[in-house]
């Protein structure tokens, strides 16, 4: 099973560019990326993105913090396009499991992307409230876990094992920190890895020999030293 690469961005210019790449199979956004991209009207901005990538899956996140509002936002977001996944954080800001929200939206046959997941324990709780038909992505934040000195791999392995019986569930490696994370996700058997645009460019260059890398590195040093007019 090939690991699909999604582009993690809400920048319209970036999405236009990366939507043309065959290597990119979908897109993910979140409220922080939307703010960074300059979105003012969440719905209007999202619809502009959907017009660009109408044939590839894309996730838009609810930003409410209570059960009713999260469900209401999820239902509305779902109407924006057939390729849209509604992104729901696994907990709210009060550390309450979003199980009721996930269950309600899932029962309405709404495709979901459950985000901010870190542990197999959270994956297990998600699997307990969903059906085995409607598509669900579980996004596990590998990079952020690694930032704290914790190895995310065991949690991925356990989550992948738990979700095996769910043909409708895909495990996504999120918060990529370097191109090599794509290979790690692939080796583990993750269904999807969502990658910042600049790292997708590097993944496309995979296959260079160590000798070629040595030559490029030394040449870069030479160019910079000449530009700086260094003397000893």
| Confidence tier at 1 by pLDDT (50, 70, 90) | confident
162-184 average pLDDT score: 97
52-63: pLDDT as tens digits: 999 999 999 999
Which are the contacts of 73, defined by CB distance < 8 A and separation ≥ 6? 62, 63, 64
100-133: pLDDT as tens digits: 999 999 999 999 999 999 999 999 999 999 999 9
CB 143, CB 175: distance < 8 Å: yes
Rg (CA), the chain: 20
**Domain-wise residue ranges, the chain:** 4-228
- What b-and-e string marks burial along 37-57, b requiring 16 or more CB atoms within 10 Å of the CB? bebeebeebbeebbebbeebb
137-146: pLDDT as tens digits: 999 999 999 9
Fold of the domain built from segment(s) 4-228: TIM Barrel (3.20.20)
SS3 154: helix
Number of other CB atoms surrounding residue 178 within 10 Å: 12
- Checking DSSP bridges between strand 58-61 and strand 84-89, what pairing results, if any? parallel
CB 122, CB 96: distance < 8 Å: no
182-208: pLDDT as tens digits: 999 999 999 999 999 999 999 998 988
**DSSP letters along 60-98, please?**
EE----SHHHHHHHHHHHHTT-TTEEEEEESB-TT--B-
């Amino acid at each position: 099973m090939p690991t699909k690469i999604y582009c993690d961005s809400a920048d319209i210019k970036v999405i236009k560019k990366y939507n043309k790449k065959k290597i990119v199979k979908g897109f993910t956004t979140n409220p922080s990326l939307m703010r960074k991209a300059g979105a003012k009207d969440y719905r209007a901005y999202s619809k502009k993105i959907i017009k660009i990538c109408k044939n590839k899956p894309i996730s838009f996140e609810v930003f409410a913090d209570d059960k009713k509002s999260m469900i209401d936002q999820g239902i509305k977001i779902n109407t924006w396009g057939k390729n849209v996944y509604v992104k729901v954080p696994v907990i709210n800001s009060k550390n309450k499991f979003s199980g009721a929200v996930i269950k309600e939206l899932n029962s309405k046959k709404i495709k979901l992307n459950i985000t901010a997941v870190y542990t197999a324990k959270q994956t297990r709780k998600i699997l307990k409230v969903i059906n085995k038909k409607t598509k669900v992505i579980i996004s596990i934040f590998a990079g952020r876990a690694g930032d704290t000195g914790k190895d995310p791999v065991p949690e991925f392995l356990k989550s992948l094992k738990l979700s095996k019986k769910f043909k409708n569930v895909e495990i996504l490696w999120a918060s990529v920190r370097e191109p090599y994370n794509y290979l790690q996700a692939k080796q583990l058997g993750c269904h999807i890895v969502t990658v910042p645009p600049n790292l997708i460019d590097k993944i496309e260059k995979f296959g260079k020999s160590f000798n070629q890398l040595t030559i490029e590195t030394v040449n870069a040093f030479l160019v910079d030293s000449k530009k700086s007019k260094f003397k000893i």
